[in-house]
Amino acid sequence: MNATHHALNDEGDASHAYRLLYNLVYCSRVAAGVDDAAVARIIESARRNNPEQGITGLLVFGSGIFFQWLEGPRDNVTQLMALIAADPRHGNVVTISASEELRERLFPDWDMELVDSADIRAVLLDAKQNASETRHRLALEQLLQELDAGQLSDLGTA
Ligand SMILES: Cc1cc2nc3c(=O)[nH]c(=O)nc-3n(C[C@H](O)[C@H](O)[C@H](O)COP(=O)(O)O)c2cc1C
């Protein structure tokens, strides 16, 4: 059993997949000197802290850009985002979307998954194909469209 499953069980029965979920997506500019080792330490923090907050998501790192998807209870995500926004390892934090909905998690098994920017399209497509809920699929489809339209263009280029 991994830590994510603890988090889900703490919130209630994981089979009750529809719950009020706050979803925050942002992009930021990686600070100078932040390398793979620094990003590994960020992921370590996330895996240590996110499960007890019921937070899941993914972090994309590449082309000097961070892109993070956070989902969980609103207060917990908001508190974490305040910490993250003040982190000197990045700057120019721009919120792409923030919403609260009654729905399933898009990334229920990921405390915080590190995704290479070259793989982001495949990750989103895979999540969309596995989504059991229409709104789920639509949210991912929109993100894919933004990616393809170049709105997230920095993410896909080397
Ligand atoms: C791009 C980025 C993403 C981050 N994502 C998370 C996260 O998902 N969870 C987390 O606990 N900390 C995250 N952090 C780190 C926090 O800003 C903060 O350093 C950390 O939560 C402190 O906790 P610690 O003392 O346990 O390491 C992130 C930092 C950056 C720069």
pLDDT per position as a tens digit, 17-45: 667 899 998 888 899 999 999 999 999 99
Closest-lying ligand 1 atom to the alpha carbon of residue 53: 11
- Number of alpha carbons in the 13 Å side-chain half-sphere of residue 29: 4
- pLDDT at residue 104 in the model: 82
In this predicted structure, the answer to whether residue 105 has a pLDDT above a threshold of 80 is yes
The pTM (predicted TM-score) of the whole model is: 0.76
- Whole-angstrom Cα Rg for the chain: 15
Q: Which tokens sit at 21?
A: 């979920």
pLDDT per position as a tens digit, 108-143: 888 898 988 778 788 778 878 877 778 768 877 887
Closest-lying ligand 1 atom to the alpha carbon of residue 57: 8
In this predicted structure, the answer to whether residue 90 has a pLDDT above a threshold of 70 is yes
Q: Which of 21-25, 86-90, 114-118, 150-154 has the lowest mean pLDDT?
A: 150-154
The Cα–Cα gap between 19 and 100 comes to 10
In the chain, the amino acid numbered 43 is: I
The Cα–Cα gap between 20 and 60 comes to 25
In this predicted structure, the answer to whether residue 65 has a pLDDT above a threshold of 60 is yes
Could you tell me the distance, in angstroms and rounded to a whole number, from the CA of residue 134 to the centre of ligand 1? 31
**Which residue among 22, 48, 49 is best mutated to probe the pocket of ligand 1, counting the most ligand atoms within 8 A of its Cβ?**
49
**Which residue among 23, 29, 30, 42 is best mutated to probe the pocket of ligand 1, counting the most ligand atoms within 8 A of its Cβ?**
42
Comparing 90 with 105, the larger pLDDT belongs to: 90
Q: Which residue segments constitute the domains of the chain, with CATH numbers given?
A: 3-115 (3.30.70.100)
- pLDDT at residue 154 in the model: 54
Q: Which tokens sit at 83?
A: 């910490």
Residue closest by Cα to atom 7 of ligand 1: 46
